[in-house]
Structure 1
Amino acid sequence: MSAPTVLIAGCGDVGSRLATQLLAAGWEVHGLRRDVSRLPKGVIGVAGDLFNKDCPDTWPIGAVDYLVYCAAATDHDEAGYRAAYVQGLEHVLEWLDDYGQVPNRLLFVSSSSVYGQQNGEWVDEASPAVAAGYSGRVMLEAEQLALKSGIPASIVRLTGIYGPGREWLLTQVRRGYRVVTDPPLYANRIHADDAAGLMACLLEADRRGVALDDVYIGVDDAPAALADVVGWLREYLGVTEWADDDSVRRTGSKRCSNARAKALGWTPKYPSFREGYAAILEGRC
């Protein structure tokens, strides 16, 4: 049996981690990004711009068994989100059509921002997705584009991704970040390696003929109150002084469930923020 081929459109941090895992499993991996020199060794580079309607010159000629759309917005406003998630996906679907390529499945990487719950509710894939802001609304539009593309599709709604190079919270805690404790402000997160691992699990499952659902939430096992995370990091880092006033950058409070993903056989390497942040601080990931 020939190696399955996958095109990762928007092969940045998480996409590159996914590429590395798939290469180790024997896949042929094509990675689309502007600067292909930054792709992991072994990935076949597709130098292109998702924001440009012109098909990349190095677009793969043969079969594309799987497509992973894993873009990131460069401008964090509504126009920037629309360009990255709606228009970029439209471009990739057009390029596939130009070459007569019909993947077995499309994975579209979305966000838990599509959920507008704010009172600490538990959220799963069946929960109402009524986005509170433009980012969630645009994501929902892009999700529908993927689901109606004519390609079997699964949406992967990732929660707050953290990992090496994604250390905003660590920086803030070192600076004395203080957050509200009552009512608790629940946050959800997933280590970048686990986000990639979930997508690899979905691709391998589809390859084996497992019937996939339309939507999966990518989150670790233990959504936690932000104050608990900050308190643990303070102790770990030895921070003894912090601001007099609360400072919260984000809105919303919900707890996302990973039960559907785990039922498929996926298990996060970093089940909570404790294991994940410890690995970062100890240089193990």
Structure 2
Amino acid sequence: MIQEIVKRSRPLPPKSKLIIFGGGFSGQRIASVGRHLGVKVLCSRRREGSKGADFIFNTDQELSNEILEGATHILSCIPPLLSGEDPVLLKLKTQLLNSKKIKWVGYLSTTGVYGDSKGNWVNENTPPNPQQDRSIRRLSCEKQWLDTKLPIQILRLPGIYGPGRSVFESLLNGTTKMIDKPGQVFSRIHVDDIAGSVLFLINLYFQGKTPSIVNVADNLPANNLDVINFAAKIAKKSLPSRVPFEIAQKTMSPMAISFWQENRKVDNKLLCKKLGYSLIYPDFKSGLKNCFLQLKIN
């Protein structure tokens, strides 16, 4: 719940102004937390009339100078262009570099840049080895941001879930698939912990703790069947039979197959042990309980 994140977060310095490019699932949550902390937050969407659109940002039109005026913190949640270019830097690099007030810049990337580790752990010192086109583009954007020499932090995220975007949706509409691939694990992060981590890292940056890359993941990488089974018990739903991956992949989209082609565990020791962030939802069990509670409330 938003109150829990706010309770754990320190306010930003007075007169802070946070600009969020990309007001999707994560961007909207971060914006909401920032506003509850008394920060002026402006969040972009691609189209007029989109939920949570404080301003429109896309590569087809120019951005009003007043949006960036006085901005102290910038967060980009926008994926790369197909060319591998970062859309925010493509349109606004000069303005960002010329700003005298920007104190922190964040870029939400993906742990997909590590590629396939055969189920082994990866951390921030693991050399990137992206194998999917989308992850190759992400790594390109990371480098573009780092090369600006702005006060930049790259947050690498695994699978994102939260209320309204979890295994419960497929359970309740009867589309759950029990794909069985022994040894396969996925790392995850609850959207509330993305928001909590962003605010936490911003405040640490002012204390001189400024790692350029941080993994934001929970403590428990897990097999997808374990997650589905746990959710089904909470929701008291029956499950279909398991289907071996070799059979299931015959009817999967190329995008879906690509997720199953990589197997890694994401280490969060830098964020949680060295920097001291306390996860609100340390594993999928606590996170799914929160998701189910929100389902019941709504």
TM class, shorter-length:
0.7 to 0.9
Q: Which ranges of structure 1 fall in alignment gaps of 5 or more residues? A: none
Cα 1:243–1:277 change in 2 (3 A) is: same
- Does residue 17 (structure 1) correspond to residue 24 (structure 2)? The answer is no
Per-residue CA distance 1:51-82 (angstroms, 9 max, x = gap): 23512365243x22111111257xxxx72x84
Residue equivalent to 1:49:
57
Distance of 1:66 and 1:176 partners within structure 2: 40
**How far apart in 1 are the matches of 2:278 and 2:49?**
31
Correspondence for 2:266: 256
Identity score, percent: 21
Equivalence for 1:26: 38
- The structure with the largest helix share of the pair is 2
RMSD: 2.5
Aligned residue among 286, 293, 296 for 1:282: 293
Aligned counterparts, 1:1-285, within 5 A: 2-34=14-46, 35=48, 38-39=51-52, 45=54, 47-52=55-60, 54-56=62-64, 58-61=66-69, 63-72=70-79, 79=82, 82=84, 86-97=86-97, 100-101=99-100, 103-167=102-166, 169-173=167-171, 174-182=174-182, 184-207=183-206, 209-243=207-241, 245-246=243-244, 247=248, 249=256, 250-251=259-260, 252-262=262-272, 263-283=274-294
For residues 59 and 210 of structure 1, the distance between their equivalents in structure 2, rounded to whole angstroms, comes to 28
What is the rounded CA distance, in whole Å, between the counterparts of 2:211 and 2:219 in structure 1? 20
Bigger mean CA offset, 246-255 vs 190-199: 246-255
Please state how far the C-alpha of 1:12 moved relative to its aligned partner.
Answer: 2.5
Name the amino acid aligned to 1:271.
P
Gaps of 5+ in 2: 1-12, 250-255
- Looking at structure 2, the residues matched to 241 and 229 of structure 1 have their Cα atoms a distance apart, in angstroms, of 12
Paired residues, what number? 268
Relative to the length of structure 1, the TM-score reads 0.84
Secondary structure at the residue paired with 1:110?
Answer: strand
What's the offset of the Cα at 1:202? 0.8
Contact 1:68 1:107 (C-alpha < 8 Å) held by counterparts: yes
Distance 1:94 1:50 in 2: 16
Instruction: State the 1:156 CA deviation.
Output: 0.2
Q: 1:52 to 1:180 in 2, by over 3 A?
A: same
8 Å Cα contact 1:96-1:102 kept in structure 2: no
Scaled by the length of structure 2, what TM-score is found? 0.80
